[in-house]
Amino acid sequence: GKVEKANKWDRKAADTNHPKSQYNVGKLLESLFEIEKAISWYIKASNQGYKPAQKRLGLLLIKSKGDASNQSIGYGLLEQFKL
């Protein structure tokens, strides 16, 4: 349907380094509990300065269990937003 078609076009745009589309692919993967894959897309968008991806990435890294370095990076990202 329409959702699948939109996801297909988002994925194509994400593959061409479009940060909002990369963020959208990350959100879709996160909703499917594919957290590691979502994080990789959020990183791609974050590296291009896309603020919503940086915020979401920070929150996910803070939630990561057992990895203090990821949590530290997450807090650093969120510090930019004064959350």
Joined tokens for residue 21: 């589309």
State the pTM of this model: 0.77
Using one digit for the tens of pLDDT, what is the confidence trace for 6-65?
678 888 888 889 999 999 999 988 998 888 889 999 999 999 999 999 999 999 888 876
Q: Render pLDDT for 55-75 as a digit per residue (tens, 0 to 9).
A: 999 998 888 766 677 778 887
C-alpha–C-alpha distance, residues 42 and 60, integer Å: 10
Task: Using the structure block, give the residue that is written with the tokens 């990076």.
Answer: 73
Would you say 24 and 44 are in contact if contact means Cβ atoms under 8 Å apart?
no
Confidence of residue 83 (pLDDT cuts 50, 70, 90): very low
